[in-house]
Amino acid sequence: MLKLYGFPVSNYFNMVKLALLEKDIPFEEVKVYPNQSEEYLEISPMGKVPCLVTDQGPLTETSAILDYIEESQPGVPLYPQQAFARAKVRELIHEMELYIELPARRCFAEVFFGGKVSVETRQEVEAALEKGVACLKRRALFAPYVSGEEFGYADIFFLHSVELANQVSKKLFQKDLLEGMPGASELMERLAQRPLAQKVTADLHAGMEEFAKIRSAK
Ligand SMILES: N[C@@H](CCC(=O)N[C@@H](CS)C(=O)NCC(=O)O)C(=O)O
């Protein structure tokens, strides 16, 4: 059986978990926090989560894991069948991760963990988010899903990646990143209400206290 290593507060872990749940693939969750132990680096060389252990060996990097799941497992397709359409979804996933989530992540310490980031960092992040969001606005269809008529991986990234970036933007810059993107906020609400997304969120809330303790012990 597939084993998914990580912890339920990690948005990347939750993207893989949601994909497995949506496809109704049996898997075992193995609780691990990012760490640099020799044992964990054997399966996740950056010490990050998630890591999916398959019968052929471990896999890391969420988008690689999602590709593997799509290509090797049964269940509802989460990428379009046609090669170009599939590549366009991958393109959009990378854009959301690289140009929206990763800049916003530089401010997670302040927004979610009571830390402080410098004025320069804030300014850089605000400018980067503006570009990233302009890119999303050009690319996404919201018809009604991010890439068209079917729910898929772009929606999973939108829900678990862009949503966190939007929390950063609202708190630090008083800007809703989804404003001016017709259908985007409505989709975010609809995605959050999907039963399996709600299960992932419930597990996230249940794991929050332990995660906060682990973080504050560092
Ligand atoms: N590019 C990685 C990012 C994963 C990632 O950053 N995970 C976070 C938890 S949400 C982590 O392990 N952070 C610890 C660290 O960066 O050392 C992926 O796509 O899986």
Which pLDDT belongs to residue 217? 86
Q: Which of 177, 166, 191, 145 lies closest to 22, judged by CA?
A: 191
How high is the pLDDT of residue 69?
98
For ligand 1, atom 9, which residue shows the shortest CA distance?
10
pLDDT in tens, 31-85: 999 999 999 999 999 999 999 999 999 999 999 999 999 999 999 999 999 999 9
Ligand 1 proximity of 147 Cβ (cutoff 6 Å): no
Q: Which ligand 1 atom is the nearest neighbour of the CA of 105?
A: 6
Q: How far apart are CA 163 and CA 99, in angstroms?
A: 13
pLDDT for the residue numbered 215: 87
Pick the CATH number of 2-76 from 3.40.50.1820, 3.40.30.10, 3.90.650.10, 3.90.25.10: 3.40.30.10
SS3 state at 27: strand
> Options 1.10.10.10, 3.30.70.1520, 1.20.1050.10, 3.40.640.10; which CATH number does 83-195 get?
1.20.1050.10
Q: Map out the domains of the chain as residue ranges.
A: 2-76, 83-195
Q: Could you report the per-residue pLDDT of 101-149, keeping only the tens digit for each?
A: 999 999 999 999 989 999 999 999 999 999 999 999 999 999 999 999 9
90 alpha carbon, distance to own chain's centre: 13
CA dihedral 71, 79, 60, 122 (to 10 degrees): 170
User: Distance between CA 146 and CA 184 in Å, rounded?
Assistant: 8
- Token pair for residue 172? 């630090």
Check whether 218 has a pLDDT greater than 80.
Answer: no
Closest atom of ligand 1 relative to the 47 alpha carbon? 17
pLDDT band for position 216 (cuts 50, 70, 90): confident
pLDDT confidence of residue 1: 96
Take residue 81 and report the two structure tokens written for it. Answer: 């069948």
Cα 46 → chain centroid: 18
Q: What's the mean per-residue pLDDT of the chain?
A: 97
- Mean pLDDT on 2-28: 98
Rounded to two decimals, the pTM is 0.97
| Residues β-bridged to residue 3 | 28, 53
At residue 109, the pLDDT reads 93
- Taking alpha carbons only, the member of 62, 1, 11, 63 closest to residue 197 is 11
What is the tens place of the pLDDT at every residue in 141-193?
A: 999 999 999 999 999 999 999 999 999 999 999 999 999 999 999 999 999 99
Regarding the beta carbon of 148 and ligand 1, being less than 6 Å apart is answered: no
**pLDDT, position 120:** 98
* Nearest residue to 113 via CA among 8, 9, 3: 9
Q: For the chain, give percent helix, strand, coil, nearest 5.
A: 60, 10, 30
Could you say which DSSP state residue 214 is in?
H
CB 150, CB 80: distance < 8 Å: yes
Taking CA atoms only, the protein residue closest to ligand 1 atom 2 is 61
Q: Is 14 in the pocket of ligand 1 (CB under 6 A)?
A: no
